[in-house]
């Protein structure tokens, strides 16, 4: 039975070649007087994208300040730095130029500037709810997180090794400029990690015990097959524009809630398991998801067997005749084969980390603290379950 739902997707998407030239006129529509441009490393400088963005803003007589240096698993200290700069400059608009980490940082800064008398980390600890947020827009350079159209952001308190998420419709970007050409310089590992992340945003919504809609399932399955096909293409042909475009658009659709309409909200335990790995070991997010998903899947599949069978048939193309358990297991093995085909890990050892029993216990305790003691939809997991999954994933 389908659940009631609300679908809210206010982000204006401007997609295709040369669309970055429109950034100034788009920002002007929102009456911005001072923009804080947030970005990461030197790739947008080397590609010339940052200069094009600044020129576009200058052409519209819009003042701006730059904040570079955002890293993967973006740091809370950078958020605080952006809030300090924004207060001094009276920033009223955030422009992220980069991927998910940059956009998430801009979202956190926007929360902090909108409520300057409060500590923004309280949101990520879920100690309070955001009441305000400055407008945010982005020029996307990495297809992965889906943050360009989603309400979510993830920030790491690097001093305490805590990676936490927060979501509010207040932080959905007002517009997203998406030129697939700017993803062509990404290393293969980053491209494929992004493809895994895109798929997982849909898979987290797909494997549920809370009711589903056929149209939503069909959209989800088509998106997953499309990303898999193009991830394989990009592994050997990274300059393929059409494949880049397919993956970039899939990233937005995968995490704007479209692929979860009518279900119970999704599972999202694979993400929560990976967040603890990312906080402790600073691993690449998509690769971390690939490393933990097969173990999660095997642990929960008997409790959500009908969904795993459908996934095996409709997404992984499993033709095997056998019991539902055998078909589900074949689907998981096919997923592992796909991960290896695109250079992704299927366990923590392949990921390059070997946590001790003490570290696994610490991650499990922290994960359950975030979940309030239990979490999941495919199977409700408690502390002992999470520890077992981590041990299986070693």
pLDDT at 19 over 80: yes
pLDDT band with cut points at 50, 70 and 90 for residue 250: very high
User: Under 8 Å CB-to-CB from 255, ≥6 apart: which residues?
Assistant: 145, 146, 147, 149, 150, 152, 198, 201
Q: pLDDT digits over 148-204, tens only? A: 999 999 999 999 999 999 999 999 999 999 999 999 989 999 999 999 999 999 999
What is the chain's mean pLDDT, rounded? 97
pLDDT at 211 over 90: no
Record the pTM: 0.94
Rounded Cα distance, 86 and 121, in Å: 17
pLDDT at residue 335, rounded to an integer: 98
Strands of the 175-178 sheet, one edge to the other: 12-15, 175-178, 136-140, 93-98, 34-39, 63-67
Q: What angle do CA 229, 101, 11 make, to 5 degrees?
A: 75
pLDDT band with cut points at 50, 70 and 90 for residue 1: low
Q: What angle do CA 374, 378, 380 make, to 5 degrees?
A: 20
pLDDT at 39 over 70: yes
- Structural domains of the chain, with CATH: 12-182 (3.40.50.1970), 188-392 (1.20.1090.10)
Give the dihedral sign, CA 260/310/306/334.
Answer: negative
């Amino acid at each position: 039975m389908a659940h009631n739902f609300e679908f809210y997707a206010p982000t204006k998407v401007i997609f295709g070649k040369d669309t970055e030239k429109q950034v100034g006129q788009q920002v002007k529509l929102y009456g911005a007087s001072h923009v804080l441009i947030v970005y990461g490393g030197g790739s947008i400088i080397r590609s010339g994208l940052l200069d094009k963005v600044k020129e576009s803003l200058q052409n519209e007589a819009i003042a701006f300040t730059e904040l570079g240096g955002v890293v993967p698993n973006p740091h809370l200290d950078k958020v605080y730095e952006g809030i300090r700069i924004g207060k001094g400059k009276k920033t009223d608009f955030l422009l992220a130029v980069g991927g998910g980490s940059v956009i998430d940082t801009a979202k956190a800064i926007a929360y902090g500037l909108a409520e300057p008398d409060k500590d923004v980390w309280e949101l990520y600890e879920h100690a309070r709810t955001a009441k305000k947020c400055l407008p945010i827009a982005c020029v996307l350079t990495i297809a992965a997180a889906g943050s360009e159209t989603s309400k979510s952001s993830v920030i790491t308190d690097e001093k305490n090794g805590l990676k936490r998420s927060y979501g509010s419709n207040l932080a959905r970007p007002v517009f997203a400029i998406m030129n697939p050409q700017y993803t062509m310089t990404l290393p293969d590992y980053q491209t494929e990690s992004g493809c895994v992340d895109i798929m997982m945003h849909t898979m987290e919504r797909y494997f549920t015990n809370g009711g589903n809609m056929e149209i939503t399932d069909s959209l989800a399955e088509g998106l997953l097959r499309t990303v898999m096909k193009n991830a394989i293409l990009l592994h050997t042909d990274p300059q393929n524009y059409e494949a880049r475009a397919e993956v970039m658009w899939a990233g937005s659709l995968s995490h704007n809630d479209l692929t979860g309409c009518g279900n119970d909200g999704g599972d999202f335990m694979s993400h929560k398991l990976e967040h603890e790995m990312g906080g402790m070991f600073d691993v690449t997010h998509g690769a971390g998801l690939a490393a933990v998903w097969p173990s999660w899947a095997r642990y929960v599949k008997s409790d959500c067997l009908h969904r795993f069978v459908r996934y095996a048939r409709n997404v992984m193309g499993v033709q095997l005749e056998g019991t539902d358990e055998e078909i589900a297991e074949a689907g998981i093995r096919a997923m592992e084969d796909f991960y290896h085909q695109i250079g992704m890990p299927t366990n923590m050892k392949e990921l390059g980390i070997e946590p001790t029993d003490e570290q696994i216990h610490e991650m499990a305790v922290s994960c359950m603290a975030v979940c309030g003691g239990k979490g999941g939809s495919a199977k409700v997991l408690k502390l002992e379950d999470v520890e077992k999954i981590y041990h299986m994933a070693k």
